[in-house]
A and B are shown apart, each in its own frame.
Chain A
């Protein structure tokens, strides 16, 4: 959107001025009222966009959060005489708490079950609002809720619009920042794969609940504004239709797009007005329009711009790493765990894992020494992938102990292990389609806080997150794919994607890298590159545990080899010794021709 990000603050300032002038631009007060509705809907929509568009969690109960805050703020100001600023704030906090509760109990539910949980929540709030008439006034409503007019009833519409528009702009700016910064990347990652997110150190559960809380608070802010808009709150305003309206706003606007919610809000308010006097055919028209938008504009109204604009030519220039490219030492520094080279770094003691009574691993014990390249080989179905997943924490071992340096990590969740310096790549590539290559790599760069600092830099149009970006770029340069930094991973060749994944794993300054079939499916030149890379990483002190079928490759890079068959360790030793081991030869001969 911004041709030049230095213009960002000026652009926002311009929008602010335009919003402030809106009351004079509107032909009559009715349009001021519509603008208020758009602002309220857009605020709630931005909340749902963060929840659904970014974190991938659906909610059909946003009206519930909307209602909690609307009643909270209305009752506090009406019955207890609180000033609006305080009552709105507490109302929003109450919605946030409701979001915390719903988000937590919904943590294990996904997709349609999550839809049901939120739907039920919305129903429950709606029913209580309707029946608990002594408290909420029910359908007949609370009358005389103090309106938000800055104490001036004659300019009420204008003053309310200014308040709502200012809040909308603040929420929109924050949302813009989220979409362009680390939190947005993290949420998009969780949305695609929570397991993968855990392996780059993301606490997916906390982020998911967090997204719920934020979206509930924004729905709550909209609800509180609504309560003080006309001074009348009736339970009829909090039914399923309102939750569906919010869904229409974000999906029609374009899920996960920055300006989706506001576009959707304008659409919905305009539609509702357009069909108000066409009641005989209103459902038909509205339905047909929803259908058409969804069928012809996959990205909703946000996709309209892309239809008009020429498709941007993807810059697929490949830059060779020049002489100025950073050395390994610059990239792999700051070891998190001090384990002397050659000392045991990862130790497995009698680790077992079974599924449905079928043993995938039985009593596997092994040691990976620091600074070595350790290969894990074995026929298909030997349990190699299970072992890797058990080490990185995606699976929990049934019994046994796993130690990383001095830590017993057996019961640790995956994201905690990742933060200790355990990085991995996947047999089936895990790159997040919604992010560019460099953003994928930045996922691996540990978060060093400084959100506020980043936000201020971003808002002022200065470079932000530059340290992470520079580091990611350096890693891409190190692996010779810097030229693809701003490309979507889907546009890369398979080999380049493997390299990009390697870069992402390296970004976390890992102590131990788990590489799951690093050269499967790529050409010889690229596998030589990877072999060389592995060698350089070892020099830099990174320990590597890799699973690979390609024997010549394994023999050329590995210092030590562990052989698995039927979930059991059948051999261990230096490459030459393993190759000569009759048990290993037999295991391979039994399954595939060696």
Chain B
């Protein structure tokens, strides 16, 4: 392997991994507050990408596109929490296997997917570049070509993971999330507005997903069907990192992206197989992820 090749492959992997990291942070947050994952999160990503594309094509300035997408995503986050999650999690009894949220959020995502297909069709598209016009979207880094968006998404993942870390461990909001995550009823007794905390976690999830969607649009082609694919990879990332802290998600996400890239370089015939074998082996050794700690369910 030539050194510049390695750099090129690693950079590609890091860019992909950053997308997974952003999605994984969303999974992590909603899991913390509601013990539910949004199985429609991938479709959120697709919608953000299409909205971003529509905005850029309409000639809106970047900042307006970002704000517009953020507003739409936040609204969607509220909607899914209110209509697909709230009733289901509020009646789940401790211990009883209520997995209604898997299908309700999956159903919500399918509806979004259909809306995208109706609005834009079922084909593939590229979003126009966010930061440059014409040819100059490529920069050279250690002899390897990199798209500006690839750098941007890497930076976004790093900054947002850092911000999340600070918010979770240093802010009031973080304390509320931690309290709700620990126990809903205790949190309620402490005077925390549990409903609001849960709702906001869905809003933040949607915003993180929106950021990933905006950046992935110009990077990889987009299509109404793409959601589940990204969601599953984000899920693999969070399984490596563990449902415990944003640093783990960053490591898990980047690791999965790099493994994917490397295995496509080494043997592309089974390029999609190796990452999942590695995740499987990893989970045999560390069944609760990198930073997950094993809790005994002694009460």
A248 at the interface (CB under 8 A from B): yes
Interface hit among B13-21, B82-90, B184-192: B82-90
A52 at the interface (CB under 8 A from B): yes
Assuming A52-B97, A124-B273, A195-B296, is B103 touching A251 (CB within 8 A)?
Answer: yes
A280 at the interface (CB under 8 A from B): yes
Q: Give chain B residues whose Cβ lies under 8 Å from the Cβ of A56.
A: 95, 97
Q: When the two chains form their complex, are residues A53 and B297 in contact, meaning their CB atoms are under 8 A apart?
A: no
B202 at the interface (CB under 8 A from A): no
Q: When the two chains form their complex, are residues B37 and A294 in contact, meaning their CB atoms are under 8 A apart?
A: no
Q: When the two chains form their complex, are residues B37 and A112 in contact, meaning their CB atoms are under 8 A apart?
A: yes
Q: When the two chains form their complex, are residues A295 and B272 in contact, meaning their CB atoms are under 8 A apart?
A: no
How many residue pairs at the A-B interface have CB separations less than 8 Å? Answer: 161
Q: Give chain A residues whose Cβ lies under 8 Å from the Cβ of B93.
A: 433
B99 at the interface (CB under 8 A from A): yes
Kindly state the separation between the CA atoms of A358 and B102 in the bound complex, as whole angstroms: 40
Q: When the two chains form their complex, are residues B111 and A287 in contact, meaning their CB atoms are under 8 A apart?
A: yes
Closest residue of B by beta carbon distance from A432: B95
Interface hit among A186-194, A369-377, A519-527, A581-589: A186-194
Q: Give chain A residues whose Cβ lies under 8 Å from the Cβ of B235.
A: 112, 115-116, 119
A428 at the interface (CB under 8 A from B): yes
A180 at the interface (CB under 8 A from B): no
Assuming A109-B288, A394-B296, is B239 touching A294 (CB within 8 A)?
Answer: no
- Of B115, B284, B297, the residue contacting A193 (CB under 8 A) is B297
Q: When the two chains form their complex, are residues A116 and B113 in contact, meaning their CB atoms are under 8 A apart?
A: no
Kindly state the separation between the CA atoms of A191 and B96 in the bound complex, as whole angstroms: 8
Q: When the two chains form their complex, are residues B287 and A109 in contact, meaning their CB atoms are under 8 A apart?
A: yes
B107 at the interface (CB under 8 A from A): yes
Q: Give chain A residues whose Cβ lies under 8 Å from the Cβ of B166.
A: none
Q: Give chain B residues whose Cβ lies under 8 Å from the Cβ of A427.
A: 299
Q: When the two chains form their complex, are residues B273 and A109 in contact, meaning their CB atoms are under 8 A apart?
A: no
Q: When the two chains form their complex, are residues B104 and A295 in contact, meaning their CB atoms are under 8 A apart?
A: yes
Q: When the two chains form their complex, are residues A113 and B289 in contact, meaning their CB atoms are under 8 A apart?
A: yes
A555 at the interface (CB under 8 A from B): no
- A interface residues, tally (CB under 8 Å): 62
Closest residue of B by beta carbon distance from A124: B276
> Which residues of chain B from 201 to 221 have any CB-CB distance to chain A below 8 Å in the complex?
none
Q: Give chain B residues whose Cβ lies under 8 Å from the Cβ of A116.
A: 235-236, 239, 279, 283
Query: Among the interface residues B84, B288, B298, which one has the most CB atoms of the partner chain A within 10 A?
Result: B298
Q: When the two chains form their complex, are residues B110 and A287 in contact, meaning their CB atoms are under 8 A apart?
A: yes
Q: When the two chains form their complex, are residues B91 and A291 in contact, meaning their CB atoms are under 8 A apart?
A: no
Q: When the two chains form their complex, are residues B283 and A291 in contact, meaning their CB atoms are under 8 A apart?
A: no
> Which residues of chain A from 45 to 63 have any CB-CB distance to chain B below 8 Å in the complex?
52-53, 56, 58
Q: When the two chains form their complex, are residues A288 and B111 in contact, meaning their CB atoms are under 8 A apart?
A: yes
- Of B83, B101, B111, B298, the residue contacting A283 (CB under 8 A) is B111
> Which residues of chain A from 240 to 269 have any CB-CB distance to chain B below 8 Å in the complex?
240, 244, 247-248, 251-252, 255-256
Q: Give chain A residues whose Cβ lies under 8 Å from the Cβ of B87.
A: 295
B126 at the interface (CB under 8 A from A): no
A389 at the interface (CB under 8 A from B): yes
Q: Mark B111-134, 1 if CB is under 8 A from A, else 0.
A: 101110110000000000000000
Q: When the two chains form their complex, are residues B288 and A124 in contact, meaning their CB atoms are under 8 A apart?
A: no
Q: When the two chains form their complex, are residues B84 and A291 in contact, meaning their CB atoms are under 8 A apart?
A: yes
Assuming A116-B236, A284-B110, is B96 touching A195 (CB within 8 A)?
Answer: no
Q: Give chain A residues whose Cβ lies under 8 Å from the Cβ of B99.
A: 52, 58, 247, 251, 255
A120 at the interface (CB under 8 A from B): yes
Q: Give chain A residues whose Cβ lies under 8 Å from the Cβ of B276.
A: 120, 123-124, 127
Q: Give chain B residues whose Cβ lies under 8 Å from the Cβ of A30.
A: none
Kindly state the separation between the CA atoms of A395 and B269 in the bound complex, as whole angstroms: 47
Give, as a whole number of angstroms, the nearest-CB distance from B152 to chain A.
29
Assuming A255-B99, A298-B88, is B110 touching A283 (CB within 8 A)?
Answer: yes
Q: When the two chains form their complex, are residues A294 and B104 in contact, meaning their CB atoms are under 8 A apart?
A: yes
A117 at the interface (CB under 8 A from B): yes
Kindly state the separation between the CA atoms of A255 and B111 in the bound complex, as whole angstroms: 24
Q: Mark B257-280, 1 if CB is under 8 A from A, else 0.
A: 000000000000110110011011
Closest residue of B by beta carbon distance from A107: B287
Q: Mark A260-300, 1 if CB is under 8 A from B, else 0.
A: 00000000000000000000111110111111111100101
B100 at the interface (CB under 8 A from A): yes
Query: Among the interface residues B31, B94, B284, which one has the most CB atoms of the partner chain A within 10 A?
Result: B284
Kindly state the separation between the CA atoms of A534 and B212 in the bound complex, as whole angstroms: 63
Kindly state the separation between the CA atoms of A140 and B211 in the bound complex, as whole angstroms: 40
Q: When the two chains form their complex, are residues A112 and B31 in contact, meaning their CB atoms are under 8 A apart?
A: yes
Q: When the two chains form their complex, are residues B296 and A290 in contact, meaning their CB atoms are under 8 A apart?
A: no
Query: Among the interface residues B104, B107, B232, which one has the most CB atoms of the partner chain A within 10 A?
Result: B107
- Of B83, B96, B243, B298, the residue contacting A291 (CB under 8 A) is B83
Q: Give chain B residues whose Cβ lies under 8 Å from the Cβ of A288.
A: 107, 111
Q: Give chain A residues whose Cβ lies under 8 Å from the Cβ of B37.
A: 112
Q: When the two chains form their complex, are residues B103 and A286 in contact, meaning their CB atoms are under 8 A apart?
A: no
Q: When the two chains form their complex, are residues A120 and B279 in contact, meaning their CB atoms are under 8 A apart?
A: yes
> Which residues of chain A from 116 to 152 have any CB-CB distance to chain B below 8 Å in the complex?
116-117, 119-121, 123-124, 127-128, 131
Kindly state the separation between the CA atoms of A143 and B158 in the bound complex, as whole angstroms: 51
Closest residue of A by beta carbon distance from B107: A290
Closest residue of B by beta carbon distance from A192: B95
Give, as a whole number of angstroms, the nearest-CB distance from B213 to chain A.
19
A238 at the interface (CB under 8 A from B): no
Q: When the two chains form their complex, are residues A112 and B95 in contact, meaning their CB atoms are under 8 A apart?
A: no
Kindly state the separation between the CA atoms of A433 and B37 in the bound complex, as whole angstroms: 25
Q: When the two chains form their complex, are residues A287 and B107 in contact, meaning their CB atoms are under 8 A apart?
A: yes
- Of A105, A196, A252, A395, the residue contacting B103 (CB under 8 A) is A252
Give, as a whole number of angstroms, the nearest-CB distance from B189 to chain A.
17
B248 at the interface (CB under 8 A from A): no
A446 at the interface (CB under 8 A from B): no
Q: Give chain A residues whose Cβ lies under 8 Å from the Cβ of B101.
A: 294
Q: Give chain A residues whose Cβ lies under 8 Å from the Cβ of B96.
A: 192, 433-434
A212 at the interface (CB under 8 A from B): no
Q: When the two chains form their complex, are residues A119 and B299 in contact, meaning their CB atoms are under 8 A apart?
A: no
A163 at the interface (CB under 8 A from B): no
- Of A113, A191, A294, A298, the residue contacting B287 (CB under 8 A) is A113
Q: When the two chains form their complex, are residues B288 and A113 in contact, meaning their CB atoms are under 8 A apart?
A: yes
Query: Among the interface residues A193, A248, A287, A293, which one has the most CB atoms of the partner chain B within 10 A?
Result: A287
Kindly state the separation between the CA atoms of A108 and B225 in the bound complex, as whole angstroms: 34
Q: Mark B225-262, 1 if CB is under 8 A from A, else 0.
A: 00010001001101100010000000000000000000
Assuming A287-B106, A291-B104, is B299 touching A430 (CB within 8 A)?
Answer: yes
A426 at the interface (CB under 8 A from B): yes
Q: Give chain A residues whose Cβ lies under 8 Å from the Cβ of B200.
A: none
Q: Mark A169-197, 1 if CB is under 8 A from B, else 0.
A: 00000000000000000000001111110
Closest residue of A by beta carbon distance from B292: A113
A407 at the interface (CB under 8 A from B): no
- Of A58, A112, A192, A287, the residue contacting B243 (CB under 8 A) is A112
Q: When the two chains form their complex, are residues A112 and B239 in contact, meaning their CB atoms are under 8 A apart?
A: yes
> Hey, which bits of chain B sit against chain A, CB under 8 A?
31, 37, 83-84, 87-88, 91, 93-104, 106-111, 113-115, 117-118, 228, 232, 235-236, 238-239, 243, 269-270, 272-273, 276-277, 279-280, 283-284, 287-289, 292, 296-299
Can you give 27 A-B contacts (C-beta < 8 A)? A56-B97, A108-B287, A116-B279, A117-B280, A131-B269, A131-B270, A193-B299, A195-B296, A240-B228, A247-B102, A251-B102, A255-B99, A280-B118, A281-B114, A283-B110, A284-B111, A287-B114, A288-B111, A290-B104, A290-B106, A291-B103, A294-B101, A295-B84, A295-B87, A394-B296, A395-B298, A433-B94
Nearest 5 Cβ contacts at the A-B interface = A287-B110, A290-B107, A291-B107, A108-B287, A284-B114
Apart from A121-B280, A131-B273, 16 more pairs, CB < 8 Å: A53-B97, A115-B235, A124-B273, A131-B270, A195-B296, A247-B99, A283-B117, A284-B111, A289-B107, A294-B84, A294-B103, A295-B84, A295-B104, A428-B299, A433-B96, A434-B96
